[in-house]
Structure 1
Amino acid sequence: MTRLYIDADACPVIRESLSAARVLRVPCVIAGNTTQNLERHLRASDPREPRDPARPDGGFWVSTVQVGVGADSADFEIAAAVNPDDVVVTQDIGLADIVLGRGARAIGVRGHVYNPLTIDSMMFIRHEEKRVRRAGGRTKGPAAFTSEDRRRFSRNLRQLLREARESTGR
């Protein structure tokens, strides 16, 4: 059974992620630190657990997981729970690397689908940029988040969820 995990820390596409999960009837877990009100993203009509216990997938439902405020707490929670059929929304390349290593799929908030063949080079670049910053240097930050980023994300997430479900026969 495919599940969608959302790393809610600084995630600008929670609404789009939940919309895709509702339409495609994919269970969803939102993980974020305790300073966030994760429930604000949910509709009152969103089921919080599978509707029909006799069906293992139960269709769409959503739960929230509040984690401590420590760095990467949500990442660790997701990494521990993810299965090979799952999809993870994150802008953290380190979490994407872990997720891919566990056989799951990962997508960035701008719609970039992380690839096992290129994740090592992305991790290397991240490491080098951190090294430059620690030494007092500056690196270029991300461009402003655009409506085109949001559209690309929605389109690619729906495709990724369909592929994940097809690979499991559900």
Structure 2
Amino acid sequence: MKILVDADGCPVVDIAIKTAKSCDLEILVVKNFSHYLADDYATIVTVDQSADSADYYIVNHAAKGDIVITQDYGLAAMALAKEAFCINQNGLIISSENIQQLLTRRHINQEIRRKHHKYTKFKKREPEQDAKFERNLRYLIEKLLAE
């Protein structure tokens, strides 16, 4: 089992690396050229800036039983098809039971934004979100290690 992180715009990269290290798991952090990341433990993979380069790299390197950390539901759907497990930056475990609803909601929200030219600002990240992410990531790891 390994952890793959879609690192472009991901606020929990450090938590994911810390957690992987504490569990002695391999972690690949995939980013494009416009982001700088360095870590002594994680494998940092840099891809080009074209649309979805990081997503395609991750899905091509994900395997059954891996954990993919992403806020991109399209990538999550592809990873689930490879029997990987997915979690977003807020600790939501994405599964075959909820992916269709998440994709539908994403589509509807995109249509509303396009139609009304209305774009919301992202709220400041709260410490509770980081705690929930770490708790659920550890839950997934423990569940997979127990199998």
Question: How would you bin the TM-score normalised by the shorter chain?
Answer: over 0.9
Q: Post-superposition shift, 1:165?
A: 2.5
Aligned to 2:118: 138
Q: Post-superposition shift, 1:139?
A: 5.7
Task: Judge conservation of contact 1:5–1:31 (CA < 8 Å) in 2.
Answer: yes
Amino acid aligned to 1:12? P
Indicate how the Cα distance of structure 1 residues 94 and 141 shifts in structure 2: closer, same or farther if over 3 A, else same: farther
5+ residue gaps, structure 2, are none
Aligned to 1:22: 21
Moved over 6 A (4+): none
Identity %: 28
Amino acid aligned to 1:131? E
Q: Post-superposition shift, 1:72?
A: 1.7
Partner of 2:116, secondary structure, is coil
CA RMSD of superposed structures (Å): 1.5
Normalised TM-score (structure 1): 0.81
1:72 paired with 2:52, answer yes
Distance in 2, Cα, partners of 1:37 & 1:145: 21
Aligned to 1:150: 130
1:88 paired with 2:68, answer yes
Q: Hey, which of these two has a bigger chunk of strand by percent?
A: 2
Q: Highest CA radius of gyration, 1 or 2?
A: 1
Amino acid aligned to 2:6? D
Amino acid aligned to 1:144? K
Alignment of 1:24-43 (within 5 A): 24-39=23-38, 42-43=39-40
Distance in 1, Cα, partners of 2:80 & 2:34: 28
Pick 1 or 2: higher relative contact order, CA cutoff 8 A, min separation 6.
Answer: 1
Q: Post-superposition shift, 1:142?
A: 4.8
Aligned length: 147
